[in-house]
A and B are shown apart, each in its own frame.
Chain A
């Protein structure tokens, strides 16, 4: 309410009137908040994979390996981002049902969802997902297995780098492992609302980079 706006701002001004020396913004080096005990040098996919495993993620380096994994758990129905179909569809045999549109009325039919990630963060083992880069919010969330696809040169070294390059996108998400809870007696259970299995697939270098398309 507009009346409330003026009231609150006036209250704020009045409340602050008595403060003589306002605390200045402390300048600090961004590296302050970066983990110092683990090296982030060398191949960023390697560094990312180590941290991703530490948060119970599963890094996979080839489409063949991914298909084997899905087959072994009988995850044969899934959603694949339309942009990824040309690269990935050939690896999926006739035993799979693949859809390029996520139908929310059949939410539980999809055992896996494969979507394009906008990047990853080596320091924390996080996947970066955006509204423009990821075809369906539900496709990356509702199925038991989420596969985020990323290219090696899209991996950020650390969180300050990921923030500095954060896109002008209304919905950016860092996903650090499977959906989980410890609400019941502090016991960790994965797959509460979202994926119980979080996979990151490394795409070949010649796959084109995600370009934020203007809406």
Chain B
């Protein structure tokens, strides 16, 4: 039977991976929820306010972008603008060439994943090493991250230990302590060898030009202590207006991502190091990336640009938990990815148009979203767009008959009465593939069509009699 690509991924997923993803995404849920709901006087107001601040910023980017640029320049940062992935990659390469640099240590950044920076740089003879433990493992395995906060949620310790052995990082030992200690030993030399530390940014404050970067591992801090040049790549939607907004966003980000009050290393960076400071970059570049964000800004789905990349929506999503991140075939998985990825795909929208459909619209993602993004509504808008554009939907049963029935009251009534026949038809013999697939793991209850209408009629009479 024909099926949507995401369904095929979910169906063919190895059991071991399915369990790893299911465990990894559901564990810690109580801790995250408690840290969000029980610590504050009005937790819901917190996230609604954060959502409005981001929405306000997005709708005034024409003011905020030049403002933040002005501040950054005043702080001694060299600002670059990149319309698309290619422009951003070229800009990074240009900075490398200009400085005769050939080694980068990278801290985790979704924007650089999005522009596929590392494969490009490697082709140009530049070593670009991921330093976040999970991303490092993804890199040595030539794999892709499957979660935006927990990149190797799909892997277990045995596979990681085998990879380390293969890469010459030590004999097989799958204890997480050993794995971590070996990465520590290997990576700390690399921080000192590289000339460039490359990072993303979690927030960019318009008022001061300070960029904020959070990591638990402290790898971004090491990137910015060992190297001479800092390059940051950030989407234009990362701006927040004022410094005073920081506690709100930092609090929501740490709690929503991992249930922490604050992420361990929260760095506020506004330029090159001070004179007298022996360590760290004396040169800082910031690349402001569009890459279709302005298209999203013009669309009915602009709310998705509020996203602060906490990963909460994928952790709670029943579809993500079963399908894993790779089923989304793009950099951003889960509910946020189901909205963002098809939109960032440009004219390849049809290839990812199945993602918004892979949802029961249960709304769990909206409930946990720290910036209150109405993800289910956005999914519906994208389904509508796919329909309008005539994107094929393999595996979806034809709905024409249903539409006809549901829009004609008389036909509806007749079919309610006739539906009783279904109680006597052997359903598993009906040769409709979609029905068969549905029936594979489900039982239909006995047909009771029309019962409610009957009840309503009697009820209305009784009520009428009373008055």
Q: What residues make up the interface of A, taking CB atoms closer than 8 Å to B?
A: 1-2, 4-5, 7-9, 11-16, 18-19, 22-26, 28, 30-37, 51, 55, 102, 104, 107-108, 123-126, 131-132, 135-139, 141-142, 158-160, 163-164, 166, 169-187, 189, 191-195, 213, 215
Q: Which residue of B lies closest to A173 (CB)?
A: B267
0/1 interface trace, chain B 227-249, chain A, CB 8 Å (1 if under): 00000000010000101101110
Check if B263 is an interface residue, CB within 8 A of chain A: yes
B residues less than 8 Å from A178 (CB atoms): 264
Among the stretches B277-285, B318-326, B406-414, the one at the interface with A is: B277-285
B4 within 8 A of A: no
Question: Are B248 and A193 within 8 A (Cβ)?
Answer: no
Tell me whether B53 and A26 are in contact (CB under 8 A). Answer: yes
The 0/1 profile, CB within 8 Å of A marked 1, for residues 180-199 of chain B is: 11011001100110000000
- B30-71 CB mask vs A (1 if < 8 Å, else 0) is 000000001111100110010011011001111001100000
Complex-state Cα separation, A34 to B248, whole angstroms:
8
A18 to B294, CA, bound (A): 13
Whether B274 contacts A215 by the Cβ 8 Å rule is yes
- Are B222 and A141 in contact, with the CB atoms below 8 A? yes
Please determine whether B274 and A131 come into contact, CB atoms closer than 8 angstroms: yes
Please give, as numbers and ranges, the residues of chain B lying within 8 Å of A1 by CB-CB distance. Answer: 80-82, 87, 91
If A23-B55, A171-B267 touch, whether A8 touches B248 (CB-CB below 8 Å) is: no
User: Known: A104-B279, A137-B279. Contact between A9 and B39, CB under 8 A?
Assistant: no
CA A189 to CA B241, docked complex, whole Å? 36
Cα separation A59 to B361 with both chains bound (whole Å)? 48
Most chain A beta-carbon contacts within 10 A, residue among B45, B61, B87, B277: B277
B298-A14 in contact (CB<8A): yes
CB nearest to A130 among chain B residues: B274
Smallest Cβ distance from B336 to chain A, in angstroms?
A: 20
- CB B373 to nearest CB in A, in angstroms, measures 14
Q: With A33-B251, A36-B39, A126-B262 in contact, is A172–B267 under 8 Å at CB?
A: yes
Contact A215 B275 (CB under 8 A): yes
CA–CA, A19 and B269, complex, Å: 33
User: With contacts A32-B49, A179-B264 known, is A142 near B246, CB below 8 A?
Assistant: no
Structural contact, A184 and B160, CB atoms closer than 8 A? yes
Chain B hits for A8, CB < 8 A:
65, 81, 83, 236, 288, 290, 294
Asked whether B49 lies within 8 Å of A28 as measured between CB atoms, the reply is yes
Does chain A have a CB within 8 A of B151? yes
**Chain A residues positioned under 8 Å from B247 (CB to CB):** 30, 33-34, 158-160, 163
**CB of B216 within 8 A of chain A?**
yes
Which residue of B157, B179, B216, B236 contacts A180 across the interface (Cβ within 8 Å)? B216
A-B contact list, 8 entries, CB within 8 Å: A4-B83, A8-B294, A16-B61, A138-B226, A180-B264, A183-B152, A186-B28, A186-B150
B297 contacts the other chain (CB 8 A): yes
Question: Closest CB-CB distance, B89 to chain A, in whole Å?
Answer: 12
Distance of A137 Cα from B137 Cα, bound (Å): 26
* Contacts known (A107-B192, A159-B251); A22 close to B82, Cβ less than 8 A: no
Interface string of B70-88 (1 = CB under 8 A from A): 0000011000111100010
Q: Are B56 and A170 in contact (CB under 8 A)?
A: no
Contact of A16 with B277 in the complex, beta carbons under 8 Å: no
By Cβ-Cβ distance, the 9 closest A-B pairs, closest first, are A194-B218, A15-B298, A11-B294, A179-B218, A183-B134, A215-B275, A137-B225, A137-B279, A159-B247
The answer to whether B177 has its CB under 8 Å from any CB of chain A is yes
Q: Is the CB of A35 within 8 A of B39?
A: yes
Shortest C-beta distance, B387 to chain A (Å), equals 22
Expressed in whole angstroms, the minimum distance between the Cβ of A208 and any Cβ of chain B is: 18
Cβ distance B114 to chain A, nearest Cβ, rounded Å: 16
> B56: which of A24, A104, A136 is its contact (CB, 8 Å)?
A24
Q: Looking across the interface, which residue of chain B has its beta carbon closest to that of A24?
A: B56
The 8 Å CB contact of B221, one of A141, A159, A187, is A141
Contact B268 A166 (CB under 8 A): yes
B27 at the A/B interface (Cβ < 8 Å)? yes
